């Protein structure tokens, strides 16, 4: 017998779980499935920067109090280039801030909220395909950990299943979306050591980009620009620290044992469509941004805010207008974030084969940002996040 619900959500990442939580507050029932286990979801370290609007949604909707108590409010970042650091004061420029609160902590809070509310949340269930997109009762065909078929029939199916989405093709067809691959990647490490800096440092050095960040009181997250073909195991720890030190001249790094390392490819993607009939895409399933602007998880939240309102109107009032406009509405912010992420990336990274002219032009661009109130405000506004559509 198929499971019947109002909204079937594929993926228990930030997008899927938040959507289910916000729908629940309107009395709209949903079923969320995820192929991974709860432990895996709650321990995978990924994003860390939450825009102010994301924090307001999480705390204001009762999804997370801990974001305010355990998260760290950051009122600025440092841009470093030409041997000097320049603070971008977010609150002074635009009266807003960001919070450092790891994505897996957000997920722990959302999972706890869903289970406390008695919602149907199934781990170890993998969606294989979606059928009936153009009907009023689309269906998800999935398989549980024991290999049994699970069929979910709903008013609306939401693909919140990340960058390798199986739902995407149902929505976009062969038409796909706009794609760009960058000629570099980030080598990321997690290490056990206290923070080297109170605020994040984004550094443009002659050898390439580096980011100094953290994920908790005793854990630091650091990245440096590398070739996309780099083998994460190829460097000794000593060599990793040597590279990082050379990328942030003038900063003393607190060094400690490296317990995770990965190479993160840089890609941009935006699906041409985020809805087909009664099937919708949100979050990384619909778009990918390079991580420089810290926009990925925040964009997932922004999509969900727009979609919640559209589903409320559709499922409670029978009004299809917001749902019909969902793709166009959501994509406006997606492209702003895509531009911001591309801009931060191009301003801070060294392009392979860059000329002397390119290098000096880049420093000129950075100076024009840090030495102008309008430049600092432009960066602060994009980084802390434009107001969410309500």
Ligand X SMILES: Cc1cc2nc3c(=O)[nH]c(=O)nc-3n(C[C@H](O)[C@H](O)[C@H](O)COP(=O)(O)OP(=O)(O)OC[C@H]3O[C@@H](n4cnc5c(N)ncnc54)[C@H](O)[C@@H]3O)c2cc1C
Catalytically annotated residues: 74, 202, 291, 295, 383
Backbone angles phi, psi at 145, to 5 degrees: -60, -25
Q: Give the pair of three-digit tokens for residue 345.
A: 């990336």
Distance CA 153, CA 298 (A): 29
The 10 Å Cβ neighbour count of residue 351 is: 14
Nearest to 15 by CA among 159, 218, 170: 159
Distance CA 59, CA 65 (A): 5
Distance CA 309, CA 327 (A): 13
171's torsion region: left (phi>0), alpha (psi -120 to 50) or beta?
A: alpha
The 10 Å Cβ neighbour count of residue 51 is: 26
Exposed/middle/buried for 87, CB within 10 Å: 0-12, 13-18, 19+? middle
CA–centroid distance for 195 within its chain = 22
Nearer to ligand X, 180 or 249 (CB): 180
Q: SS in 3 state form for 240-292?
A: HHHHHHHHCCCCCCCCCCEEEEEEEEEEEEEECCCEECCEEECHHHCEECCHH
Between β-strands 126-131 and 139-143, what pairing exists: parallel, antiparallel or unpaired? antiparallel
Nearer to ligand X, 80 or 104 (CB): 104
> In angstroms, what is the minimal distance from the CB of 368 to ligand X?
25
Nearer to ligand X, 33 or 270 (CB): 33
Nearer to ligand X, 228 or 249 (CB): 228
Nearer to ligand X, 147 or 250 (CB): 147
Nearer to ligand X, 260 or 368 (CB): 260
Binding site for ligand X (CB under 6 A): 10-16, 33-36, 41, 46-49, 103, 126-127, 160-162, 166, 188, 264, 283-285, 291, 294-298, 300
- Residues contacting residue 318 through CB under 8 Å, at least 6 positions apart: none
């Amino acid at each position: 017998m198929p499971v019947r619900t109002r909204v079937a959500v594929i993926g228990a990442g930030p997008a899927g779980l938040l959507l289910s939580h916000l729908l629940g507050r309107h009395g709209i029932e949903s079923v969320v499935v995820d192929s991974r286990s709860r432990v895996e979801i709650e321990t995978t370290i990924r994003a860390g920067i939450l825009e102010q609007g994301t924090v307001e949604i999480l705390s204001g909707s009762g999804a997370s109090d801990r974001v305010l108590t355990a998260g760290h409010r950051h009122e600025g970042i440092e841009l470093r280039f030409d041997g000097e650091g320049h603070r971008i004061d977010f609150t002074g420029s635009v009266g807003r801030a960001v919070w450092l609160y790891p994505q897996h902590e957000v997920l722990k809070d959302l999972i706890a909220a869903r289970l406390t509310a008695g919602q149907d949340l199934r781990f170890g269930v993998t969606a294989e395909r979606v059928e009936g997109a153009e009907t009023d009762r689309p269906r998800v065909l999935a398989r549980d950990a024991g290999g049994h078929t699970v069929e979910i029939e709903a008013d609306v199916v939401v693909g919140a299943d990340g960058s390798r989405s199986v739902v995407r093709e149902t929505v976009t067809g062969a038409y796909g979306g706009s794609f760009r691959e960058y000629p570099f990647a980030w080598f990321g490490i997690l290490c056990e050591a206290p923070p080297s800096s109170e605020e994040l440092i984004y550094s443009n050095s002659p050898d390439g980009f580096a980011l100094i960040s953290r994920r908790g009181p005793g854990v630091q997250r650091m990245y440096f620009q590398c070739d996309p073909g780099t083998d994460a195991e190829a460097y000794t720890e000593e060599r990793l620290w040597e590279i990082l030190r050379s990328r942030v001249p003038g900063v003393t790094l607190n060094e400690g044992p490296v317990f995770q390392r990965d190479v993160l490819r840089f890609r941009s993607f935006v699906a041409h469509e985020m809805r087909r009939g009664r099937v919708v895409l949100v979050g990384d399933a619909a778009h990918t941004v390079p991580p420089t602007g810290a926009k990925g998880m925040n964009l997932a939240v922004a999509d969900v805010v727009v979609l919640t309102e559209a589903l409320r109107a559709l499922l409670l009032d029978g009004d299809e207008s917001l749902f019909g406009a969902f793709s166009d509405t959501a994509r406006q912010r997606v492209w702003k974030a895509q531009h911001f992420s591309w801009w931060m990336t191009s301003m801070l990274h060294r392009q392979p084969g860059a000329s002397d002219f390119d290098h000096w032009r880049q420093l000129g661009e950075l100076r024009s940002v840090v030495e102008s109130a309008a430049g600092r405000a432009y960066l602060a506004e994009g980084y802390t996040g434009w107001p969410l559509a309500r």
